[in-house]
């Protein structure tokens, strides 16, 4: 029997039914939590060491680490990934070690319905894949085989893309992101005594520079002094 691909349309992907969403509501919600905290410290290295110890205790890991310096402070930015179940206790422990947070923000994004929708799309795509696999087994000529394999390739690419999205969402749900910034202020002296000290230092630097210049260019200095002495003698010998 010859198989006509045009007459056997594959099943279309279906939107998740309300019943499916309602069934999912009985399960734990899929929540993506992202936190941002900023605070001042007087010991950056000690603070970082303490934070990394807490991260290790809570089975998390460091995703990013960036240190930089501005005009009035040195800052450290950390991006930490923690198991979502450990976030609350981590925050409590961190709060015990910080006197005051300049910024403390936790955002929560509910991706439950997106997750349900993607799972339904994946199920539909796999049904289509099965349909084309059955058609492939019934194909009678090379043309039909090539056409079916082309469609299968497209479907399998879609399946890989959907599975990738599911893995990403699952990772974001299972591991929460904590962005930490802690900084240390740089004390800039601005008193009269400090200005006098800076002026004396600048004067000394200038004097040292002049001495080094004389040492470096001593032949030119000696020749200049000789010519100057000769011109003076010639000037003294001129009759009045």
At residue 71, the pLDDT reads 82
Work out the pLDDT band at 122, boundaries 50, 70, 90.
very high
At residue 61, the pLDDT reads 95
Work out the pLDDT band at 1, boundaries 50, 70, 90.
very low
| Cβ pair 32, 109 in contact under 8 A | yes
Range 126-141 average pLDDT: 90
Q: Which residue has the higher pLDDT, 78 or 212?
A: 78
6-46 pLDDT, tens digit each = 444 444 444 443 334 444 455 678 999 999 999 999 999 99
Highest mean pLDDT among 14-23, 112-121, 132-141, 207-216: 112-121
Percent of the chain with pLDDT over 70: 77
Rg of the Cα atoms in the chain: 38
Q: Which residue has the higher pLDDT, 138 or 66?
A: 66
Range 208-231 average pLDDT: 72
77-87 pLDDT, tens digit each = 999 999 999 99
Phi-psi map region of 151: left, alpha, beta (phi>0 left; psi -120 to 50 alpha): alpha
Phi, psi of 94 (to 5 degrees): -65, -40
Highest mean pLDDT among 109-123, 128-142, 178-192: 109-123
C-alpha–C-alpha distance, residues 46 and 158, integer Å: 48
Alpha-carbon dihedral angle through residues 174, 34, 80, 64, given to the nearest 10 degrees: 120
Torsional sign, CA 139, 142, 146, 149: positive
Question: Mean pLDDT in the chain?
Answer: 82
At residue 129, the pLDDT reads 93
Record the pTM: 0.62
171-203 pLDDT, tens digit each = 999 999 999 999 999 876 665 666 676 777 777
Work out the pLDDT band at 215, boundaries 50, 70, 90.
confident
At residue 231, the pLDDT reads 66
pLDDT tops 70 at residue 138:
yes
98 three-state secondary structure: coil
C-alpha–C-alpha distance, residues 205 and 11, integer Å: 84
C-alpha–C-alpha distance, residues 74 and 71, integer Å: 8
């Amino acid at each position: 029997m010859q198989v006509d691909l045009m007459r056997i349309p594959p099943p279309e992907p279906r939107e998740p039914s309300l019943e499916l969403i309602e069934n999912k509501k009985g399960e734990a919600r899929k929540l993506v939590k992202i936190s941002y905290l900023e605070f001042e410290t007087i010991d950056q290295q000690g603070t970082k060491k303490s934070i990394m110890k807490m991260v290790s205790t809570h089975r998390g890991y460091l995703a990013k680490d960036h240190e930089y310096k501005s005009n009035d402070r040195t800052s450290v930015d950390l991006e930490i990934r923690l198991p979502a179940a450990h976030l609350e206790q981590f925050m409590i422990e961190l709060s015990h070690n910080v006197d005051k947070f300049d910024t403390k923000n936790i955002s929560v994004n509910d991706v439950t319905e997106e997750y349900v929708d993607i799972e339904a799309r994946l199920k539909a795509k796999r049904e289509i894949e099965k349909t084309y696999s059955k058609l492939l087994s019934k194909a009678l000529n090379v043309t039909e085989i090539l056409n079916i394999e082309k469609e299968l390739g497209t479907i399998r690419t879609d399946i890989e893309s959907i599975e990738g999205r599911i893995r990403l969402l699952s990772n974001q749900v299972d591991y929460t992101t904590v962005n930490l910034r802690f900084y240390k202020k740089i004390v800039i002296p601005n008193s009269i005594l400090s200005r006098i000290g800076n002026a004396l230092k600048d004067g000394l630097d200038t004097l040292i520079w002049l001495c080094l210049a004389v040492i470096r260019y001593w032949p030119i200095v000696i020749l200049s002094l000789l010519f100057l002495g000769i011109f003076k003698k010639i000037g003294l010998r001129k009759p009045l």
